[in-house]
Amino acid sequence: MDVRNQGLAGVVTADTAVSMVDGEAGRLIYRGYDIRDLCLHYEFEDICYLLWHGRLPDQEEKEALKAEFREQRKLSKELISLIQLLPENMPMMSVIRTCISSLGGASFSWPPTSDQAVKLTAIMPVIIAVRYRWVKEGILVEPNEELSHTANYLYMLHGSIPEKAHLMAMNAYLILTMEHGMNASTFTSRVITSTESDFVSAVTGAIGAMKGPLHGGAPSEVTKMLGEIGGKSNVEPWLRDQLEHGYKLMGFGHRVYKTQDPRAEALKEVTASLVEKDDWLELAHEVEETAGALLEEYKPGRKLYTNVEFYAAAVLRAVQMPDELFTATFTASRIVGWSAHVLEQAENNRIYRPEAHYTGIVPK
C-alpha cells in the first residue's frame, strides 16, 4: 500500500458542488460564494438554504425557512423524557448521538429530503440547551418562538436575549463551521447514505465521527491559553516564555491551509468591531498580533497563522459558552454541511466499496 494514501490522504472520493477548500490559496467556498462574504452579510438560515438548495433564498423563502425552523425546534414529550433519563455523567456528544438516533422512523425514510434536514438541524441545539440546563439547574427550558435559530440557542442556554454584538459573533462562527469539504464526519455521512440508509442514521454516524478528539476536538486549549495570559500586559512575556521553552502556541497552524485560515480571518474581521465591547475578544486580538511577530522572530519562514480554533475559542468564550459545549456547538453547526452532502449523495448514488491491501499470512 502506498503510505501516502493512508487515511485516504489525497484520494478523491466524490464530486461535489457543496464546498471547495483551497489550502494553498487559503480559500473556503460555499456553493460559489466566498465564506467571508457569507458570514459578514447573511444569517444562519440563509446559508442553510444555500448549502441545501444551491442558491441563496429570496426574502419570502428565507421567512418560510425561519418559520419552519421555529416549528421544528419543539421537542416531543418522549424526547424530553429521554433527555431527563440519560445518566447525568453522560458526555454531551453521547447525549446528542442518542437523542438524534431516537428520531429514526418512517418520517426519515429514504430518500433524504431538505425537510428532514431542517428538522434535524433545528432540533439539535435545542437538545443541547435543554440537556445542559436540566443537568445544571434541574429546569426544562422552552424555545423562544420570536427568535432566530442562533439567537434562540443562546437564549435557551442563558435565559436572556443575547446582546447584538454576541449574536453577530455567534452567527458568524456557526456559518464558518457549517461545512469544510470531505472531512471524516462528512465522509461518514456520505458512506452511510450510499447504502440507502436513512437521514438519521447518516447524521448519527457523523456525530460518532465528530465525537473523536482527532476530529471534533474543541478549542478548549486556546481558551486555557488565553486564560493563563489573563491580560494585555502579560501577552508578550507569556508568549516569549512559551516559545523559548519550545512549547506550541495553541490556535496557530493548520493541516490543510498553508497560508491564512480563511475562517480565522473572517472571524477576526467580524469581531474587530466588537473588540471595544468585549475584554476577551480584545485580548485575543492582542495575542494574535503579538504572536505573529514573535513566531516570525523565533521560527522565521515557518508562516504559522491563526486557525479557526483560535478565534472560535474567543467567540465562544465571549458569548459565555461553557467549555463542555464547544464540540457540541460545533456539531450543531456542522450538521448543515452533513445534510448538504447527504442530499447530494442521494441525487446520484453509488454505494461506497473501497478495497484494502491485505498484509496478513496467505496459507500454502
Q: Is residue 171 part of a domain?
A: yes
Q: Is residue 352 part of a domain?
A: no
Q: CA nearest 331: which of 162, 96, 154?
A: 96
- Residue pLDDT, tens place only, 25-78: 778 999 999 998 999 899 999 999 999 999 999 999 999 999 999 999 999 999
Q: The CATH number of the domain where 287 resides is what?
A: 1.10.230.10
Q: Could you write out the DSSP letters of every residue in 171-183?
A: HHHHHHTS--SS-
106 shares a domain with 20: yes
Residue 254 appears among annotated catalytic residues: yes
236 shares a domain with 197: no
User: What are the residues facing 34 on neighbouring strands?
Assistant: 29
309 shares a domain with 333: no
Q: Is residue 188 part of a domain?
A: yes
Rounded average pLDDT over 282-295: 87
Q: How confident is the model at residue 288 (pLDDT cuts 50, 70, 90)?
A: confident
Q: What's the confidence (pLDDT) of residue 50?
A: 98
44 shares a domain with 153: yes
Selecting among 265, 309, 341, 344, the annotated active-site residue is 309
Which range of residues forms the domain containing residue 84? 15-215+325-347
293 shares a domain with 329: no
Residue 319 has pLDDT above 60, yes or no: yes
232 shares a domain with 194: no
Q: Is residue 94 part of a domain?
A: yes
The model carries a pTM of 0.90
Q: Is residue 33 part of a domain?
A: yes
Distance of alpha carbon 27 from alpha carbon 33, whole angstroms: 10
105 shares a domain with 251: no
Q: The CATH number of the domain where 121 resides is what?
A: 1.10.580.10
Cα–Cα–Cα angle for 357, 361, 364, rounded to 5 degrees: 120
252 shares a domain with 128: no
Selecting among 43, 254, 286, 288, the annotated active-site residue is 254
The dihedrals phi and psi of 251, each to the nearest 5 degrees, come to 90, 10
Q: Is residue 298 part of a domain?
A: yes
Q: Is residue 357 part of a domain?
A: no
Q: What's the confidence (pLDDT) of residue 116?
A: 97
Percent of the chain, pLDDT > 70? 93
Q: How confident is the model at residue 217 (pLDDT cuts 50, 70, 90)?
A: low
226 shares a domain with 130: no
Q: How many independent structural domains does the chain possess?
A: 2
Q: Is residue 67 part of a domain?
A: yes
50 shares a domain with 197: yes
Q: CA nearest 123: which of 151, 153, 94, 81?
A: 153
68 shares a domain with 31: yes
Q: Which residues contact 314 (CB under 8 A, 6 or more apart)?
A: 222, 226, 267, 271, 280, 281, 283, 284
Distance of alpha carbon 315 from alpha carbon 281, whole angstroms: 7
166 shares a domain with 77: yes
